């Protein structure tokens, strides 16, 4: 009788261990900076994974951790360049990923926390919902297919003659 119970428990453990499948590792782009202050342009390529927030059903802790990492990467990459950017400016975000998103709804929504972090760093206004409402900043969105995840951020402004 004891052997029978032991065998049943062993079968349950084996069945549970088989159900766990590992995902393939996610590839990210390498971080790059291209700074051309004479023409008023800065290009950042950052290794950030973006997910459509509108169609994402996951625990709030996982979303919060992803948003926190996105904001920290933006903060670190903007340390050197945020004082070089002058307003008014045009900021273009290009999502790099193996699959494309719906350009009307999901693309801007997937870049929402990145936009908030960039706007907060440029304007110095860290109140939620206020920094990205600045009239001197124009936002543009695009996406490209890539084998690795990342975000290209292109800052461009008119260089003053003075």
Selected from 3.30.1330.70, 3.30.70.920, 3.30.830.10, 1.10.1660.10, the CATH number assigned to the domain covering 28-157 reads: 3.30.1330.70
Quick check: 114 and 70 in contact, CB under 8 A? yes
Comparing 103 with 2, the larger pLDDT belongs to 103
- What is the per-residue pLDDT across 142-161, written as a single tens digit (0 to 9) for each? 999 999 999 999 999 987 76
Vertex 46: Cα angle to 21 and 138 (nearest 5): 125
Q: Quick check: pTM over 0.85? A: no
Does pLDDT of 17 surpass 80?
Answer: no
Where exactly are the structural domains of the chain? 28-157
- What is the per-residue pLDDT across 85-116, written as a single tens digit (0 to 9) for each? 998 999 999 999 999 998 888 999 999 999 99
| CB neighbour burial string for 92-114, b if at least 16 within 10 angstroms, e if fewer | ebbbbbeeebeeeebbbbbbebb
Across the chain, mean pLDDT equals 84
Interatomic CA distance for residues 36 and 67, integer angstroms: 29
Interatomic CA distance for residues 96 and 130, integer angstroms: 27
pLDDT at 45: 92
């Amino acid at each position: 009788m004891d052997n029978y119970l032991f065998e049943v428990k062993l079968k349950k453990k084996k069945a549970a261990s088989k159900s766990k499948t590992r995902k393939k590792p996610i590839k990210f782009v390498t971080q790059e900076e291209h700074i051309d202050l004479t023409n008023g342009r800065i290009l950042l390529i950052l290794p950030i994974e973006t997910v459509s927030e509108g169609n994402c059903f996951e625990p709030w802790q996982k979303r919060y951790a992803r948003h926190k990492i996105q904001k920290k990467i933006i903060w670190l990459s903007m340390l050197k360049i945020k004082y070089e950017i002058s307003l008014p400016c045009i900021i273009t975000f290009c999502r790099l990923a193996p699959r494309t998103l719906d350009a009307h709804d999901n693309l801007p929504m997937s870049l929402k926390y990145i936009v908030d972090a960039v706007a907060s760093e440029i304007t110095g206004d860290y109140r939620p919902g206020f920094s990205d409402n600045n009239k001197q900043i124009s936002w543009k969105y695009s996406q490209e297919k890539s084998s690795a995840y990342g975000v290209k951020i292109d800052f461009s402004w008119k260089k003053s003659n003075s």
